[in-house]
Amino acid sequence: MLRKTLLATLCASALLTVTAPVFAAPTQDFKSEQGPLEVTTMIKGLEHPWALAFLPDRQGMLVTERPGNLRVVSADGKLSAPLSGVPKVWAKGQGGLLDVALSPDFKQDRTVYLSYAEGGGEGDKAGTAVGRGRLSDDLTALKDFNVIFRQEPKLSVGNHFGSRLVFDRDGYLFITLGENNDRPTAQDLDKLQGKVVRIYPDGKVPDDNPFVGQTGVRPEIWSYGHRNPQGAALNPWTGTLWENEHGPQGGDEINIIERGKNYGWPMATHGINYSGQPIPEAKGKSAEGTVAPHHVWEKSPGLSGMAFYDADRFKAWQHNVFIGALVSQELIRLQFDGDKVVHEERLLGELNKRIRDVRQGPDGYLYVLTDEDDGALYKIGLK
């Protein structure tokens, strides 16, 4: 009798193990034009998370927290302790630990790239830095971290670091850089403020960058005239780099980044100063010799992370772009005809959360981070 009872118990336990979900997390439903959204809370209690990157082979994801922590969220929704080996960051204002990206050859080299605010400038000013280290096999440390890029000069007192990292199909690393709230520097080619730069993964400058060899011009520069680009992604269908950036009061924009082009800030803008006065350097919404925005919002949502959707899981989202919004506290969905935006939908407004990053997961779901003292990671799909 005892053996039968024990056998029945073991069988019941085995059945429970097979049928139970990997993790139990609260879900909410929200309305959308394609049908109900199912939003699952994976992690709460993150301190101003800024970015995430998916590890291969269901090892979970890396998440940055602006005060200076890099953590692992496992596939079953567990949060690790902060990893060791992360650089010291300048965590003031908008500064801190920012973007994270994996090497294109991560499975072979286990290299992780981080962007962050680095101090040391005159008068306690900071700039964006990028470095890389090797993720340990047990996911607890970054080994041999070294800096490969520094924004020069260091001019920020806490604003406009930009700081998205994107690898293209050829393995070049693009870094978006804010103008540190020092408007004219976005047009100064001897400075790295308000630029998109292009480098090799080890930090060296490619010989075919547009300004290589020109006197008084930084050779890292790929494009210029940017204000504060906090979202960037590679278009998976064309291989082109897309970027979004904050305008001042009004004039948030999407740009398709081209070699050597001037994107206008502060000479051309759809926005005004927060005081209500015009931007002193602005000549209007356009200026000769500059590229107009690909898409512009006259009222600023406060754009942040950006993701193209190219998975098979949710057919209704294919060829859409999703962008986080900090000010309007929404997830923006854009539909396209070719490259032209033909429709916009605002999602998740009921969350009342500043959406900092959005990424497409390897499972075809969207994952978003909220920029709060008690930040969260959400998994989003259509029901």
Query: What pTM does this model have?
Result: 0.93
Q: What does the alpha-carbon distance between residue 30 and residue 348 come to, in Å, rounded to a whole number?
A: 7
DSSP run (H or E) holding 268: none
- Residue 38 pLDDT: 97
pLDDT at residue 7, as a whole number: 38
| 134 bridge partner residues | 111, 143
**CB count in 10 Å sphere of residue 243:** 26
Q: Would you tell me which CATH number, out of the four given (2.120.10.30, 2.40.50.140, 3.40.50.11540, 3.50.50.60), belongs to the domain 27-382?
A: 2.120.10.30
| Tokens 């308000």 -> residue | 194
Q: How far apart are CA 188 and CA 217, in angstroms?
A: 8
pLDDT exceeds cutoff 70 at 10 = no
Residue 160 is a catalytic residue:
yes
Q: Where are the domains of the chain?
A: 27-382
Distance CA 97, CA 248 (A): 23
Inform me whether the pLDDT recorded for 252 exceeds 80.
Answer: yes
Contact present, 226 and 188 (Cβ < 8 Å): no
Tokens of 334: 């854009």
- What is the average per-residue pLDDT within 334-357? 96
Tokens of 349: 């407004």
| Active-site residue, from 160, 226, 270, 295 | 160
Query: Cα Rg for the chain, rounded, in angstroms?
Result: 22
Block residue for tokens 């959204």: 37
> pLDDT band at residue 294, thresholds of 50, 70 and 90?
very high
- Flag the least confident range among 13-17, 136-140, 272-276: 13-17
pLDDT (tens digit per residue) in 75-127? 888 999 999 999 999 999 999 999 999 999 999 999 999 999 999 999 999 99
Q: What's the chain's length in residues? A: 383
